[in-house]
């Protein structure tokens, strides 16, 4: 594989690994230092609220300052903000205010960095001569492996390292990610053209790209719909069901099965992604995901549930790299950051919206009925999306290139 592609994949892997370790360590650290479960919720909410704005305006920053530059800068800033936690802990001790302030600072840099790295995908593919489908699938595959390994590594490090020292690992991963990205040839991504308008004008232009292109708007709606129903099922309803049935220990194997299934799906896409039409991939994977989601949402016995969520990961695994490829091809180069930022923001908004609706439904109709309602919503939304005229032809023609 060309070295440029290797560097790109390694940079993304290091950044994600650091975030996954922090995702395990920070909540535990908050609980240990404050002794208050509510405090952990306050920190999570405070860190989550700025992410939508960071996704939207981070896309503008990417288009104005350059994808490579923002990716490096965001990882360095993330490393600095995480490093501040053990430093503050050593000097004054960590309290709730410190967790909130430094957590918010870190969140403000993570989303622009993620958007910048996504925007680099087609540039790296072109510079290295790697087919876009292959590089996108490999990226999803690497992320799938890390989604299994990262939390395990985080849990082990929390046990092995004292106090907040585990956060030095996260900081080192972010700093290393910035260093690896800096090794990409400077010509990998073109320098951004000077922009005359203000930030709101930039944002309107990014929104106009999504509105004008029925393929992009359809895929954005489809991706957001999947988050809308999947997040409450996995994050809210599944843990509640396992606790009610006295089997909370099965949550880990279920999450691992989903990650392994997604990894296998991404590998399949890497191998045969270009042999089938994109419409075939979209219809087959989306329809298969609807069937498996409905089966899983019926909350079957433990063995069948493990199989259902593994197959759900498998059939939906190719969707993320497929959407990334289509988006990269259809978005004008100078608007790539803004469009990706808006797509990320839509997914970030869909998750709490789904959680809120599911929480209200559980109180009215019960847990199992709520899960089935989510499955029905998923089937209706995906069927409607597949019938949209804009998603009937996904192959790129000469008129589609910008």
Residue whose pair of structure tokens reads 């106009």 in the numeric block? 208
> Alpha-carbon distance 367 to 361, whole Å?
8
pLDDT at residue 25 is higher than 70? yes
Asked if the domains at 3-132+151-186 and 205-389 fall in one CATH topology, the answer is yes
For residue 401, name the pLDDT band (cuts at 50, 70, 90). Answer: very low
Q: Could you read off the pLDDT of 314-351 as tens digits, one per residue?
A: 998 888 888 888 888 888 888 888 999 898 888 888 87
Burial class (CB in 10 A: 0-12, 13-18, 19+), 301: exposed
- Nearest CA to 273 among 233, 321, 216? 321
Q: What is the pLDDT of residue 75?
A: 94
Q: Flag whether the pTM goes above 0.75.
A: yes
Q: What percent of the chain has pLDDT over 90?
A: 17
- Which 3 state secondary structure label does DSSP give 348? helix
Q: Which tokens go with 248? A: 């909370």
CATH superfamily, region 205-389: MFS general substrate transporter like domains (1.20.1250.20)
Q: Which tokens go with 202? A: 């930039």
Q: What is the pLDDT of residue 40?
A: 61
- Domain-by-domain residue ranges, the chain? 3-132+151-186, 205-389
Residue whose pair of structure tokens reads 């594989």 in the numeric block? 1
Residue whose pair of structure tokens reads 């492996």 in the numeric block? 145
| Cα pseudo-dihedral 214, 216, 221, 226, rounded to 10 | 140
Q: Which fold has domain 3-132+151-186?
A: Growth Hormone; Chain: A; (1.20.1250)
Mean pLDDT across 381-385: 79
> Alpha-carbon distance 173 to 211, whole Å?
37
């Amino acid at each position: 594989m060309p070295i440029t592609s290797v560097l790109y994949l390694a940079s993304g892997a290091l950044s994600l690994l650091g975030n996954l370790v922090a995702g395990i360590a920070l909540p535990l650290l908050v609980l240990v230092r404050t002794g208050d479960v509510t405090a952990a919720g306050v920190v999570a909410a405070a860190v989550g609220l700025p992410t939508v704005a960071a996704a939207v305006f981070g896309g503008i920053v990417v288009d104005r300052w350059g994808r490579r530059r923002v990716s490096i800068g965001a990882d360095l800033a993330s490393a600095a903000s995480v490093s501040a936690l053990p430093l503050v802990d050593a000097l004054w001790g960590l309290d709730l205010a410190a967790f909130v302030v430094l957590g918010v600072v870190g969140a403000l840099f993570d989303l622009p960095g993620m958007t910048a790295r996504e925007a680099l995908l087609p540039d790296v593919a072109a510079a290295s001569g790697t087919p876009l489908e292959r590089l996108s699938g490999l990226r999803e595959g690497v992320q799938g492996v890390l989604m299994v390994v990262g939390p395990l590594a985080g849990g082990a490090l929390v046990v092995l390292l004292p106090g907040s020292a585990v956060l030095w690992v996260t900081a080192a991963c972010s700093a290393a990610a910035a260093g690896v990205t800096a090794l990409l040839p400077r010509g990998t991504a073109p320098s951004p053209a000077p922009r005359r308008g203000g930030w709101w004008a930039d944002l309107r232009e990014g929104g106009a790209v999504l509105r004008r292109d029925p393929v992009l708007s359809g895929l954005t709606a489809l991706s957001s719909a999947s988050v809308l129903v999947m997040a409450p099922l996995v994050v809210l309803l599944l843990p509640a069901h396992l606790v009610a049935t006295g089997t909370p220990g099965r949550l880990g194997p279920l999450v691992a099965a989903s990650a392994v299934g997604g990894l296998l799906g991404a590998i399949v896409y890497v191998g045969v992604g270009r042999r089938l039409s994109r419409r075939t991939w979209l219809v087959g994977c989306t329809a298969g995901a609807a069937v498996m989601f409905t089966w899983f949402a019926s909350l079957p016995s433990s063995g069948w549930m493990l199989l259902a969520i593994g197959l759900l990961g498998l059939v939906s695994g190719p969707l993320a790299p497929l959407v990334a490829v289509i988006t990269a091809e259809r978005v004008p180069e100078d608007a790539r950051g803004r469009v990706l930022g808006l797509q990320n923001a839509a997914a970030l908004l869909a998750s709490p919206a789904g959680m809120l609706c599911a929480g209200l439904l559980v109180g009215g109709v019960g847990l199992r009925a709520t899960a089935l309602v989510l499955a029905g919503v998923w089937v209706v939304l995906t069927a409607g999306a597949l019938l949209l005229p804009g998603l009937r032809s996904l192959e790129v023609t000469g008129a589609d290139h910008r």
